[in-house]
Amino acid sequence: MAITNSESQLTNLGPLAQLTAGRLPERILRLVIGLWLYGLSIALMIEGAVGAAPWDVFHVGVARHLPLTLGVIIILTAGVVLAAWIPLRQKPGLGTVLNTVLLGPFADLNLVLLPTPDALVTRYGYAIAGVVVCALATALYVGAQLGPGPRDGLMTGLARRTGWPLRRVRTGIEVSVLATGFVLG
């Protein structure tokens, strides 16, 4: 099925259909830009130090106990989450693989490039910018239709296998990783 400009909804494409759906170079570019922006949003929220997304609270908590960069922890976490896809019978796409290997390095690169703000108003500005950039990044990488990220695929796989609503599954996952990250520091 070819993707056209007039389509406004996402189609559930299998891994091979994702690659043959048309405009592949443009979609890969959108995916990579979206992942880079997602790494920027992570860095903005981490450097702002006034709040972070649940998975990033988890990543930072783990980073306090391992001599690894945040980006390496993001990659390792994605690998563990992908292993959980096996019993869920989730199929990764090119976007899944690129999310797994690029998001961590993009976060690390942006953490190096961003100055750490001192003023509270600037820190809140970083946090707000992080949320806005995250929304744009998500629209780009999800809209590329090259497969879900590891964490999103876990959510959709669990919802499909359990029959529970997405909001319940997503909330359960996010509360669990947030609590674990909080306990880890």
pLDDT tens over the chain, length 185 residues? 444 444 445 466 777 777 777 889 999 999 999 999 999 999 999 999 999 999 999 999 999 999 999 999 999 999 999 999 999 999 999 999 999 999 999 999 999 999 999 999 999 999 999 999 999 999 999 899 999 999 999 999 999 999 999 999 999 999 999 999 999 98
Domain span at 118: 23-184
Domains held by the chain: number? 1
- The reported pTM is 0.88
Kindly state whether residue 85 falls inside one of the protein's structural domains.
yes
In a domain, 146, yes or no: yes
12 located within any domain: no
Q: What type of residue sits at position 107? A: A
